[in-house]
Amino acid sequence: MPEHGGLPFLRELLLFLAVAGVLMPLLARLKISPVLGFLVVGVLLGPYGFGALTERIPWLGWFTFSRGEAVSALAELGVMFLLFRIGLELSTERLWALRREVFGLGLAQVVRSGIPLAWVLHRFGLDWDMAAVLGATLALSSTAIVLQLLSQRGALGTRVGQKTFAILLFQDLAVVPLLVLVGVLGRPGEVDLGLAVGLALLKAVAAVAIIYGAGRLLLRPLFVHLLKGAQSDVFMALTLLALLGISALTGAAGLSLALGAFLAGILFSGTEYRHQIEINIEPFKGLLLGLFFMTVGMGIDLGALLREPALVAGHVMALVVLKALIAALLLKAFGLRWGGAVEGGLMLAQGGEFAFIIVGAALALGLLPSDLGGFLLLVVGLSMLLTPMLARLGNVLGQRLGRAKRSDAADEIELLDLPLAPVVIAGFGRVGRLVAAVLAREEIPYVAVEADVGRVAAARAAGQPVYFGDASRADLLMHLHADRSPAIILTMDDSDAALNAVRGIRAQLPQVALYARARDEAHAAQLLEAGADQVIPDTLESSLSLAGFALEAAGYSDQTIGHILERERDTRSRSP
């Protein structure tokens, strides 16, 4: 397919969308991990797979990725979106609580895995400085793959997930000094090694502190001011601006773009916009991560594997076993039972995406023989390809070891910071505020969603748990743990939005009690038919109160008036 003059890499983008839209649903039906699917497709259709045959068989160019660079930029965006999404699920308080794991467990994993790997690389003929840098590089795991697998399994909140995430976070921070070391080694004698690393770390800490401090001061006021009366597309544009802007700032400071995306997620995690952002970026994250995994697959040279299969397979297994063993022992030392330790160790056993960056930089500076560099990247890529299977093995072994030690294995599946199941109020106008006030006086937890940014800002200033978002979207309510809620209360002013919300909630949450406010009796009938458990028309209570005054004036007793009004209330607000 000829290149389009106005849109480079159009053929590759169309092919990727075809893969994502046709092949991935098929893999889902077969219960094959999408991570593994994208990796395999990248291997088969990449420049080392069928893409290598395009010169001899030109028509294959329509169905292969002969140029891996065509999707590498979008793949990096995928990693950024993943880290941004993970940052949204955390908070500064939660990160502070993880400091022991990040700087204790994470540092121990990199050092203890890096030392034996550096010794092996020294045996390959590298000097000790370069061997130490590459040993630490091979000690890093794939943040993108592991976090994706943990998210799919819903395991990020478990003890295994938290400790695994802490190790990955330290590894991402370690990339900065490793890249600095590669640059210093490329200029021998020009810069003192210890001074260069120290300055790089100081610069990184200062940059993160400045960006985070400025974000805390400016982000919420900026959104409140610009979103008043704005459409949803403005909210999406501002979110992307914040995500890419903060990433650009960390990139300008010499840090990774992914770290900036993670920092942006942390900044948004404590705001009222968090849940709506999670909903908005979900489809982008999935597609862009698919591009990343395909890019990793494209870097795996099948020819080298076929030429020396035993040698390559032996080194891949050695890397996986060594890293899994060390990580499992450290996780056990930091408080996990053997089941969780083995599961986490196998999850972290692969090489990471940053190896492609650091090894690539070393090759460009002539610090590494090209054949050794290519071999290392092949081993790392194949180990990443094995990750979904290793994770599944770890899950099975973890469950068995956990049951053998303790039948309920409660400490392996205990969720951290699991919120109480609140009543969900969709809409925070006059009716929603009244419902919230009653619940608050009775000390019943609730959470509310409101699309008016002014109302949200006022409620947050008063300390109320109100979030910005479209209350008619059932997927947004799911992010508020509506599946565990004792009841969902719909109080929106928009009758069409209320009807759409009832339909969406009933499709996803048939078991949750659903009560709704209706505009009138005709609207109430529609809501009942759509699946609401009980509906109250707007005019009902005011009308009944006035009727009660009229009956009192006519001489009826309070008891009789109460029976009459209750009968009318049952008739007009009866559940289906």
In this structure, the strands spanning 423-426 and 514-518 are unpaired
CATH of the domain at 126: 1.20.1530.20
Residues 548 and 516 in one domain: yes
Tally of structural domains, the chain: 3
284 backbone dihedrals φ, ψ, rounded to 5°: -65, -40
- Which has the closest alpha carbon to 299: 229, 393, 374? 374
- Separation of alpha carbons 213 and 227, rounded Å: 22
Does 283 or 527 have the greater pLDDT score?
A: 527
In this structure, the strands spanning 446-450 and 488-490 are unpaired
- Separation of alpha carbons 501 and 531, rounded Å: 10
Per-residue confidence band for 61, with pLDDT thresholds at 50, 70 and 90: confident
**Burial level of 286, CB count in 10 A (0-12/13-18/19+)?**
middle
pLDDT, mean over the chain: 79
Task: Give the mean model confidence (pLDDT) for residues 424-438.
Answer: 86
Residues 400 and 492 in one domain: no
pLDDT value at residue 412: 36
Could you give the percent of the chain with pLDDT greater than 90? 10
Check if the beta carbon of residue 168 is closer than 8 Å to that of residue 141: yes
Both tokens of 119, joined, read 């010794």
Q: In 3-state terms, what secondary structure has residue 58?
A: helix
Which among 413, 437, 463 is the end of a domain? 413
Torsion of CA 148, 111, 383, 386, to 10 degrees: -50
Both tokens of 75, joined, read 């793949």
Q: In 3-state terms, what secondary structure has residue 379?
A: helix
Query: pLDDT, tens digit, for every residue of 126-156?
Result: 888 889 999 999 999 988 788 878 877 777 7
Residue that the structure tokens 């109460």 belong to:
562
Residues 444 and 533 in one domain: yes
Residues 160 and 228 in one domain: yes
| Rg from Cα positions in the chain | 28
Check if the beta carbon of residue 227 is closer than 8 Å to that of residue 234: yes
- Its pTM stands at 0.64
Residues 51 and 115 in one domain: no
Query: pLDDT, tens digit, for every residue of 236-273?
Result: 888 888 888 888 888 887 777 777 888 888 888 877 78
Domain of 196?
71-299+309-413
Residues 399 and 427 in one domain: no
- Which has the closest alpha carbon to 465: 446, 441, 490? 446
- Separation of alpha carbons 315 and 383, rounded Å: 10
Residue 78 has pLDDT above 80, yes or no: no
Residues 138 and 244 in one domain: yes
DSSP character string of 35-56: HHHHHHHHHHHSTTTGGGGTTT
pLDDT value at residue 105: 92
Residues 369 and 450 in one domain: no
Residues 349 and 490 in one domain: no
165 inside domain: yes
Per-residue confidence band for 416, with pLDDT thresholds at 50, 70 and 90: very low
205 inside domain: yes
DSSP character string of 385-419: HTHHHHHHHHHHHHHHHHHHH-TT-HHHHPPSSPP
Among the ranges 11-25, 53-67, 194-208, 443-457, which has the highest mean pLDDT value? 443-457
Query: pLDDT, tens digit, for every residue of 354-376?
Result: 888 788 778 878 888 888 888 88
Amino acid symbol at 43: V
36 backbone dihedrals φ, ψ, rounded to 5°: -65, -40
